[in-house]
Amino acid sequence: MDDLSWMDAHEQAELVRSGQVAPAELVEAAIARIEEENPRLNAVIHPRFERARREAAEPLGDGPFRGVPLLLKDLACQSEGDPYHCGSVFLKNARWRADHDTGFVGRFREAGFVIVGRTNVPEFGLTITTEPIAYGPTRNPWDTQRSSGGSSGGSAAAVSAGLVPVAHGNDGGGSIRIPAGACGLVGLKPTRARVSQAPDMGEAWMGATVQGVLTRTVRDTAAVLDCIAGPVPGDPYVAPPLRRPLAAEVGADPGRMRVGFLDRPLLGGLNADPEAGRAIAATAGLLAALGHSVEEAHPKALEEEAFPGHFLNVVAAGTARDLAFWAEKLGRSASEDEIEPVSAGLGAAGRALSAADYLASMEWMYGYIRRMSHWWSDERFDMLLTPVVNGPPPPLGYLSDPTQGLFRTIAMLQYTAQFNVTGQPAVSLPLQWSADGLPMGVQLVAAYGREDLLVRLASQLEAAAPWRGRHPKLAATR
C-alpha cells in the first residue's frame, strides 16, 4: 500500500483501530520501504526486521499508536538486545549490544509503536552533520549530495523519505531541530527534563540534552511527546507540569502573540546567509498576517560572545567522561584509529579542564539562563523567531572537512544551542524553502515550560501554510 509512506502516525494508527490494516501489515510496509530507499540514504544502520515482525504479531495493547513502525536513534537510547554504537568505531568493533531498554523506549512500546530499526548518528552526537567514519554519511532525501543534519540525521532522513512516520531523536545543541530543518520536518526540542532519561543518566551536558521525536505533522509531535513525557522517581529535577495534554493544544487558538524575530548571526562577526534571512522575513510576514504582533527584537544575552567557550567546556567535559565510561565498560581505551579527531580533541580538552574551570563555566551558564529569561518574563515576549541554522543544508563533506569543518560548523550553529542551556522548548517547522528547493526550517522558541504555546502556534502555521504535500524527489514515486 504505497499511500502508507506519506500517512502520519495518527492516520496509520486509525487504520489499525478501524480494522482496515493489521500491525503486521504496517511493519511489512515500513520494512519494504526501508529496503527500497535506505541503500541510497544510509539512514537505518541496524535493521531490526525479524524482531519487529515477531513483536507486531504479538498483542500490542491499546496504546494510541498501536502497530505504527518507529525508528530509534543510535545514541542515548538503548533497546535491549540491539546493537548500540553511538556512531563510534570503538563500540562497533566491540560489537556492543544494549542489555536493557532506556525508560522512554518502554513508553514508546506502551504507546503501541513497533521498533523496526536504529538510525545513523555522528560519533557521540558531537556535530551537526551525520557523517561518521563507523557507518558513512546519511544522505538528505531532498538532495543526496547534501547533509541531512545532525546529530539526529539518520532519523530525519528516514521520516522525510517516508520510511516511517515517526523517529526518535535527541537534542543537546540543536540535534532534533537542525536535521528537522534540513529535511523538511517538524522537530520539537522539549523543555529540559520533560522526558526522563532514566535509568541511564540523570542529565548530560549540564542538562542541555533532551529526548524527543521527528515527525511530518505537528499533531504527531504533540501526541507522541504526551506518550513519552513525564518524570521517573530519582530524576534530579523535573519539568513544570503541562496544563493539559499537548495533543489538546493542536488547533487551539493561540491568541495574539508578541513575537520577536532575529534574522542574522550575533556571534563571531559573521554575515547572515541571504536565504536564511529571506526565510525569516517570509515567516514574520505570515505571522503578522495571522494577527500576531511581530517586531525585530531578541534577548540581549544572545549577543554575549563568551557563550560558545563556556558551552564548549561543558561539552568537552562530557566527552571526556563518555570516553572514560566506554573504556571502563569495554575494559580498554580506544585506540587512535577507533575515535574520530573531533571526539579525541574534545576528550583531551575535557581532561585538561580542572574542576574549578568546569564549575566556573557552570556558574556563568546559570547567570546566562537568568539573563536570557528576562526577555520572555520582563519584556513580555511570547515567542522568538530565528533561523535554525545560518543557511540551507550544506553539501556532504562541508562540515566534516578535517581542517575547516569545525569553523564552518560554528558559523552555521548560531541559533540553537543557547536554548539547550536555558532549557526552553523550541521547534523547527518546514515553512520555507531555498531557491534550489531545499528545506529551510525556521525556529520558534517559547518561555521555559511552555510547549503548549509552541504547539498552538505551530499548528496554526501548519494550517495556514501546509507542508504535508511536499515530498523529496528521491521518494516521490515508487
More confident: 410 or 304: 304
CA distance 253 to 205: 36
Out of 88, 148, 175, 459, the active site residue is: 175
Crossing angle for the helix pair 23-41 and 153-160, to the nearest 10 degrees: 110
Return the exposure string of 231-246: e unless at least 16 CB atoms fall within 10 Å of the residue's CB, then b. Answer: eeeebeeebeebeebb
Q: Measuring CA to CA, which residue among 172, 143, 173, 136 is closest to residue 160?
A: 143
Residues 248-296 have pLDDT tens digits of: 999 999 999 999 999 999 999 999 999 999 999 999 999 999 999 999 9
Identify the band that residue 476 occupies on the pLDDT scale cut at 50, 70 and 90: very low
Identify whether 73 is a catalytic site residue.
yes
Strand order in the sheet with 114-119: 44-47, 114-119, 69-73, 166-171, 210-215, 186-189, 426-433, 439-445, 383-387, 258-261, 293-296
- What pLDDT is stored for residue 432 in this prediction? 98
Identify whether 18 is a catalytic site residue.
no
How crowded is residue 40: how many other Cβ atoms within 10 Å of its Cβ?
A: 14
Identify whether 335 is a catalytic site residue.
no
Q: CATH number of the domain at 2-475, please? A: 3.90.1300.10
Using the predicted structure, report yes or no on whether residue 227 has a pLDDT greater than 50: yes
- What pLDDT is stored for residue 477 in this prediction? 39
Single-letter amino acid code for the residue at 217: T
Using the predicted structure, report yes or no on whether residue 110 has a pLDDT greater than 80: yes
Show the cell assigned to 233: 522517581
Domain residue limits, the chain: 2-475
Identify the band that residue 61 occupies on the pLDDT scale cut at 50, 70 and 90: confident
Rounded average pLDDT over 83-99 = 98
Q: How far apart are the first and last CA of the chain?
A: 11
Evaluate whether 380 touches 374 at the Cβ level (below 8 Å).
Answer: no
DSSP characters over 389-456: SSSSPPBTTTTT-TTTHHHHHHHH--SSHHHHHHT--EEEEEEEE-TTS-EEEEEEE-STT-HHHHHH
- What pLDDT is stored for residue 430 in this prediction? 98
Q: What angle do CA 398, 402, 407 make, to 5 degrees?
A: 65
Comparing 1-10, 61-70, 468-477, which segment has the lowest mean pLDDT?
468-477
Comparing 329-343, 400-414, 427-441, which segment has the lowest mean pLDDT?
400-414
Q: Measuring CA to CA, which residue among 5, 9, 3, 175 is closest to residue 76?
A: 175
Residue 178 φ/ψ, nearest 5 degrees: -65, -50
- What pLDDT is stored for residue 2 in this prediction? 53
Out of 79, 151, 361, 428, the active site residue is: 151
Out of 5, 73, 92, 196, the active site residue is: 73
